[in-house]
Amino acid sequence: EGFDTSGSKLMGRQAAGEAFLKAYAEHGGSATLYCYSRTEAMFTNFQERVVALTGAKHAAQWIPHQQPNDLAKAGCLFVPGPNTADLVWQRRQFDPRDYSVCGITHTTASESIMDSIGDLMVAPYQSWDAVICTSEAVRGTFRQVLGDWEEYLKERTRGLVNAPVQLPVIPLGVDCAGLKAEGKAAGWRREWRARHDIGEDDIAVLFMGRLSYHAKAHPLPMYLGLENAARESKRNIHLIQAGWFANDSIEKAFSESARTICPSVNAIFLDGRDAHVRESIWYAADIFTSLSDNIQETFGLTPLEAMATGLPVVVTDWNGYRDTIVDGETGIAVPTVSLPPGLGGDIAFRHSAGLDSYDRYLGHASLCTSVDAGACAKAFLRLIGDADLRQRMGAAGQRHASQKFDWPVVIASYQALWDSLAARRRSAAIIAPRPDKGPAHPLRNDPFTLFAGYPTALLDGKARIALNPGAAGSWFKAIRQNPIVSFAPYLFLPGEETDNLLSKLSEMGESEIDAVLNLVPAESRGLAHRTLAWLTKLNVIRVVSARKRVGG
């Protein structure tokens, strides 16, 4: 799901994930690609995606979820999101030095993501783990949340707490060579402009992205800025909005607002989920704009894609956007203002209490954030009236994208990070090492430890057992395949090994469990002990004596 753009609800993180997978397969230089997934069908899907994205089949290996220790082969597990706490708890079952866990940020505004930031303080993360922040603004959010959480934990525990995980800033990447569309750009431009009656001297402004006034970018400053620019410039202005609507009411709100707020502008809506639209619509435009004002936005991939296609950009001075464009050189940054800290406590409470949905939470913050519509109009007017400026900024944007955000450059940053994490794994001390025979996760101990007070007695190594007369014969053959007792074969020894165990117990007669287990290879003794317990449930083995439980 994190690497798939074919769904009806296309999100930026999915586009970024798909692009990363393609780029890493092409530029990562790895002899083998590993896929860590729950099922072999998911691994097959992974292989098919890589072939579809790159046109070539790479050597790939499947690492099933039930075998996380095999991740040591790869050395680093990359996850297309920041929620990785379960994975580091899982790693604690084995040697924490076996591999690093590396996540990446997309939106950071949701409660689940806030919780995942808090997990960095309490889950068994190590200094060789990382969460990639795609912008300095995102890293600032992480540091704020971690600081608040640290202060609370210090008071709660009366101790020192910290998050050892690394927070490097690495941007998302773009395929600059592919976006130049050599040999196709002119044809695509003619196709789209003819289809929508955009004249040769007309100006087409493009917005690409999800069309949501409450959870992406409020269109008001874009509509106001373009209306003022159209009236003052006396040029024919076309606004292409390529995206998708979550529902009919949002679509109606956009279309009616465009008619009433910017009647001088020809508003064109296209389905941005269509692959041809996403690939070619850039070349119909003269200017790209994205006036994001929403806290769910963290990086903003579309301004990069626009620059890579040679378009000058008009974007907000907002979060990750300021990391990607060079104001006055590759485009124009429009000022934004929002409330000072301390004036949104009730907004946060309403969301955490379930009174408001996540979308409403985002919308409430958006309503208190404004984009300078006058500055928007001036930015559009500058570019509308100066073809040479559009060309210079577009060319500068292409150079900037190629030098800093082209996938080979970004993938090299990933690999440098992962190399540094590997060096830390070799030398840094393990934080909160797992205690000898203790649980990997203190809140997820094994059920026989947690509920040791439930049974009358414990079937430990000193318990004495014996075969029930005749039970290992026809009775066991009849009952062992019954679904009421055979629904979890992976918990016990395979059939032939179970038969061998019964044969040995038959030869030994009444015996201590430890004596029976000593006849089994060391690596199988845990399964063998559990198999003996299963056989007692089936009435194949009887318990002669066992240690009574102690306490309540």
457 has a pLDDT exceeding 70: yes
What's the rounded Cα separation, in Å, for the pair 376 and 364? 23
What's the rounded Cα separation, in Å, for the pair 200 and 236? 10
What backbone torsions phi and psi does residue 485 show, to the nearest 5 degrees?
-130, -5
Sign of CA dihedral 205, 206, 210, 211: positive
Condensed to tens digits (0 to 9), the pLDDT of residues 340-379 reads 999 998 898 888 778 899 999 999 999 999 999 999 999 9
DSSP assigned state of 127: T
Label residue 552 by pLDDT band (50, 70, 90).
very low
What's the rounded Cα separation, in Å, for the pair 188 and 283? 6
CB 238 within 8 A of CB 230: no
DSSP assigned state of 56: S
Location of structure tokens 């179970």: 498
Average the pLDDT over 96-103 and give the result: 96
Position 197 scores a pLDDT of 96
Q: Which residue has the higher pLDDT, 354 or 172?
A: 172
Position 550 scores a pLDDT of 63
Q: Is the pTM of this model over 0.85?
A: no
Condensed to tens digits (0 to 9), the pLDDT of residues 216-232 reads 999 999 999 999 999 99
Q: What is the DSSP string of 395-423?
A: HHHHHHHHHHTBHHHHHHHHHHHHHHHHH
Average pLDDT, rounded, for the chain? 91
One-letter-per-residue 3-state SS of 68-137: HHHHHHCCEEECCCCCCHHHHHHHCCCCHHHCEEEEECCCCCCHHHHHHHHHHHHCCCCCCCEEEECCHH
Residue 366, both tokens: 């958006």
Condensed to tens digits (0 to 9), the pLDDT of residues 493-510 reads 999 999 999 999 999 999
Condensed to tens digits (0 to 9), the pLDDT of residues 247-278 reads 999 999 999 999 999 999 999 999 999 999 99
